[in-house]
Homo-oligomer: A and B are copies of this chain.
């Protein structure tokens, strides 16, 4: 609701857009709120109005803002946000507290989509796809024990999932994989909290291995089942109905 957190700015237009977007996604303004006017932002961040306009145009293109001449700028409803816009994906990177509703929706989507993608991958994967998958899996295995390598482990985990989308050899699914990256990252970090017990990482590794083996063997249905297993525990933890994959109101 305020502009106070934003100090003077340094960087190009994209950087300013990123700052504003993250502030918005972080909850500084609620849907329906009026967004600060161009001149206020320009003054507060010590940049020209032009740069502010370009940045706001980006947020508008992503469906975050609604601007009308004379009225001003308002924050749109979450349902109007373009979650599949790659730019949005960038902005979500490293966001500390994404909205819980968003997290559940994303996981429900992945729980329904990734089995299918794994099935495609099992049938379409080429040598380099398998190489990527194996490299990611070996990385996961090598960093599974040491807790000080948690960051690296997460990276390999995300790379593994991204490689599955890549191996589907379908333009749309591959783009989906890229732009789900930050969401997957957030989910993986969330699901690896040690509070759940010590079987977590070992089990997770085993399940990822099952997916890899199924894809290597070209066994589509088994790959689908294995992919479902990988996401199953996280889904249950977050309260996503693993029967329906979505929750009716």
- Assembly CA distance A95 to B85 (angstroms): 21
Over the window 102-136 of chain A, the binary record of Cβ atoms lying under 8 Å from chain B Cβ atoms (1 yes, 0 no) is 10011011001101110110011010000000000
- Assembly CA distance A97 to B87 (angstroms): 28
Residues of B within 8 A of A108 (CB): 170
Question: Is A171 touching B82 in the complex (CB atoms < 8 A)?
Answer: no
Question: Is A173 touching B87 in the complex (CB atoms < 8 A)?
Answer: no
| Least distance between A91 CB and chain B CB atoms (Å) | 13
Residues of B within 8 A of A169 (CB): 246-249
The copy count of this chain in the complex is 2
A244 at the interface (CB under 8 A from B): yes
Interface centre among A112, A168, A179 (most CB of B within 10 A): A112
User: How many residues on chain A are close to B (CB under 8 Å)?
Assistant: 44
- Assembly CA distance A148 to B10 (angstroms): 60
Question: Is B109 touching A170 in the complex (CB atoms < 8 A)?
Answer: yes
Q: Which of B54, B117, B244 contacts A120 (CB 8 A)?
A: B244
Question: Is B172 touching A83 in the complex (CB atoms < 8 A)?
Answer: yes
| Least distance between A176 CB and chain B CB atoms (Å) | 7
Residues of B within 8 A of A171 (CB): 78-79, 83, 102, 105, 109
- Assembly CA distance A245 to B123 (angstroms): 9
- Assembly CA distance A82 to B172 (angstroms): 9
Question: Is B85 touching A249 in the complex (CB atoms < 8 A)?
Answer: no
Q: Which residues of A pack against B, CB within 8 Å?
A: 54, 57-58, 61, 63, 78-79, 82-87, 102, 105-106, 108-109, 112-113, 115-117, 119-120, 123-124, 126, 168-173, 175-176, 179, 243-249
